[in-house]
Chain A
Amino acid sequence: MKHSCMLSIGPASFRIGSPWRAPIDALRELYAAYPPVKSGIADYTVRLEPAGTGRRWFRPSIAIAGDHMLADAAPMALRHGLLAAEMGMNLQMALGWRRHLLIHASSAEKDGQALIMTGESGSGKSTLAAMLGECGWRFMGDEFALIDLVTGSIHSFPRLVSLKNAAIDVMRGIVKAPARFGPLMEATPKGDIAHLVPPADAILHMRDPAEPALLLFPRFGFASELRGVSKGEAFVRLTQASTNYVALGEAGFHALHHFVDTVPAMALDYANGEEALAAIDQLWEVRS
């Protein structure tokens, strides 16, 4: 590979290579504040390769490859290289990570305690975590929350925040440093996307775990409503939100059981971000 870089994100590290310079340079720039991979040995390799013979120059398009791959992944345009790199790294974590129970969720920390938000794409969990990160919370991640298999603590995976569509302008209104935003990638398979570099403290403390204190199932675009979620429902929904629950076997079961048994769970419908943040503040005040 002609161009490559190594990234260290939370407990994981990646080696990313490509024959094209652009995606690697963009990664280097946006991940500049992250610590280097000290050992020089990465957990995973991601390759951003031409999607076919000649596709390096002619209508350049990227095939996401690496240690773990999807056989039928659709190729992506070169101008969406940052998104391809993000998807490649997510794929390695989703299919390969065994050191923690991995939940598809965002998380944020305050006073050493963690709020975990999980939901389908479009639920707003990414945006909410990014907003919290700008108002007194430590942003811990917008994609994966990692539950320690022994202690039950939450470990952070604060990769770049992946902002989609309307969330881009929302965050531009809040974050006044243009340098923290990556380029706007229009009309990707996931809509318009721009990356946001997490706040400095999120990166500085990315290896500090936090105790889980509240599990939230947010849902954007509905009239404001709050309801309790039973342990059974939380358990089942989290098994669906986890990519390695099955592969972890007994250890995964115990970690998840302990999690739902000790962490209160609520479902939050909301129509806009301010409303959700106010509800989260209230819930946080009265958390058990």
Chain B
Amino acid sequence: MSAHLLVMLLRTPERAEALNAAQWNGVIATARAERLLATLAYRLKGQVAPDALGPILESARFDAEYEKRLALWEADRAMAALAPLDVPVLLLKGAAYVAASLKAGEGRMIGDLDILVSYERIGEVEAALLAAGWEWVKPDPYDDAYYRQWMHELPPLIHRERDRMIDVHHTILPLTARPMPDAQALLADAVRLPNGLCLLSPEDRVCHAVAHMLADGDLDGGLRNLWDISCLISEIDNISALESRARHHGLHMHLARACRLVDHLYGKGKMRLTWADRLFVRRLLARNNWGSDSRKFLGLGFYVRSHLLRMPPLMLARHLWTKWRNGHRPI
């Protein structure tokens, strides 16, 4: 139930008045688990809510400001490291949202720095980052080789002094995924900010967020990702331009589902859901009053799906066999 309430508050913060203490406890725990507490804190600014909530939300906003400062500093450091190469630093996801002061960046927790560079120049970028103090995180040769052969990004690098991770992407989905987004078009239509940092075009930002949530991964943190999409779509002027862009990237079906989920959870609830959409909604709302996962089997199902999305069955079997032999156990 708590995830329902969280979604309701993000959608209609003015309904905060109606919640009782037990419901607030559930909402806070769920929002923390979904990394949405600071987002909720910004949404609830100016609303009538119990006094005890004040310091909790204030601390969440404080953390979000800190996250933002760190993310922008990392972006600045990446820009300095890549300056000699004359490669634009194209930010993806959280760092991009806060750099451009987008609505999706308000209260957003930001883990790693994600950047997109062209495939031809990825070797130079890697060398420049290594020279500037970033180091490999994955010492396992199989993981390293897997990333380089099949993934949409280099194996993650971590900065030896600042302990922050950077993911260098050359496209936005693993090469093994069915859709093949046009990475050159992503780079060609990028937008440059006054400080020199770049981000994807508004339409491509939506396409990337949709691809990340629905064509890759197991929907862990899905409520936050869907909130991103909801905010990003609200900043699009021309929906048909977005639709044709998604078609170009092979993501139109994913976009359509994302629009339905956004409408159902964060919008007016006017669109018809398919039966599969309903499974997604269940998975997204699988948090109980204590903030813990309330649908373990459904979660496992989406975990399996995430692997099927990523790899054809034979390849998946080989991958799982290798990981199992190396001692990896899921969950």
Listed in ascending order, the chain A residues whose CB lies under 8 Å from chain B are 1, 13, 15, 17, 39-43, 45, 47, 49, 65-68, 96-99, 247, 249
- CB neighbours of A13 from chain B (8 A): 52
B53-69: which residues lie under 8 A (CB-CB) from chain A?
53, 55-56, 59, 62-63, 66, 69
Given contacts A17-B290, A98-B62, contact A40 B32 (CB under 8 A): no
- CB neighbours of A40 from chain B (8 A): 20-22, 25, 52
One of A41, A66, A247 near B21 (C-beta < 8 A):
A41
Name the CB-closest residue of B to A15: B25
- Tell yes or no: B161 within 8 A of A by CB: no
Name the CB-closest residue of A to B23: A41
A-B contact count (CB 8 A): 56
- Interface residue tally of chain B, by bracket? 20 to 34
Name the CB-closest residue of B to A1: B290
Given contacts A41-B25, A99-B55, A99-B59, contact A49 B292 (CB under 8 A): yes
5 contacts between A and B (CB under 8 A): A40-B20, A40-B52, A41-B52, A42-B28, A47-B290
One of B20, B29, B66 near A247 (C-beta < 8 A):
B66
- CB neighbours of B62 from chain A (8 A): 98
Instruction: Report the minimum CB–CB distance from B128 to chain A (whole Å).
Output: 28
Taken residue by residue from 1 to 34, chain B's Cβ proximity to chain A (1 for < 8 Å, 0 otherwise) reads as 0000000000000000000111011001100110
- CB neighbours of A249 from chain B (8 A): 66, 69
- Tell yes or no: B86 within 8 A of A by CB: no
Taken residue by residue from 85 to 122, chain B's Cβ proximity to chain A (1 for < 8 Å, 0 otherwise) reads as 00000000000000000000000000000000000000
Shortest Cβ-Cβ A-B pairs, 8 listed: A40-B21, A39-B52, A98-B59, A41-B52, A45-B29, A67-B32, A41-B24, A41-B21
Instruction: Report the minimum CB–CB distance from A149 to chain B (whole Å).
Output: 10
Name the CB-closest residue of B to A37: B52
- Tell yes or no: B51 within 8 A of A by CB: yes
CB pair B292 A47 closer than 8 Å: yes
> In whole angstroms, how far apart are the Cα atoms of A40 and B52 in the complex?
9
- CB neighbours of A15 from chain B (8 A): 25, 29
- Tell yes or no: B269 within 8 A of A by CB: no
> In whole angstroms, how far apart are the Cα atoms of A199 and B154 in the complex?
58
Taken residue by residue from 290 to 313, chain B's Cβ proximity to chain A (1 for < 8 Å, 0 otherwise) reads as 111000000000000000000000
Given contacts A17-B290, A99-B59, contact A67 B53 (CB under 8 A): no
- Tell yes or no: B50 within 8 A of A by CB: yes
Name the CB-closest residue of B to A249: B66
One of A1, A42, A45, A96 near B59 (C-beta < 8 A):
A96
> In whole angstroms, how far apart are the Cα atoms of A96 and B28 in the complex?
13
CB pair B63 A98 closer than 8 Å: yes
> In whole angstroms, how far apart are the Cα atoms of A16 and B29 in the complex?
12
- CB neighbours of A39 from chain B (8 A): 21, 50-52
- CB neighbours of A99 from chain B (8 A): 55, 59
One of B55, B66, B292 near A65 (C-beta < 8 A):
B292
> In whole angstroms, how far apart are the Cα atoms of A249 and B50 in the complex?
28
Instruction: Report the minimum CB–CB distance from A83 to chain B (whole Å).
Output: 21
- CB neighbours of B21 from chain A (8 A): 39-41
Instruction: Report the minimum CB–CB distance from B331 to chain A (whole Å).
Output: 10
15 more A-B residue pairs beyond the given contacts A39-B21, A98-B59, with a C-beta to C-beta distance below 8 A: A17-B290, A40-B25, A41-B24, A41-B50, A41-B56, A43-B55, A45-B29, A45-B290, A47-B291, A65-B292, A67-B33, A67-B291, A96-B59, A97-B59, A249-B69
Instruction: Report the minimum CB–CB distance from B37 to chain A (whole Å).
Output: 9
CB pair B25 A45 closer than 8 Å: yes
Instruction: Report the minimum CB–CB distance from B311 to chain A (whole Å).
Output: 25
- CB neighbours of B292 from chain A (8 A): 47, 49, 65
CB pair A41 B66 closer than 8 Å: no
> In whole angstroms, how far apart are the Cα atoms of A64 and B25 in the complex?
18
CB pair A43 B290 closer than 8 Å: no
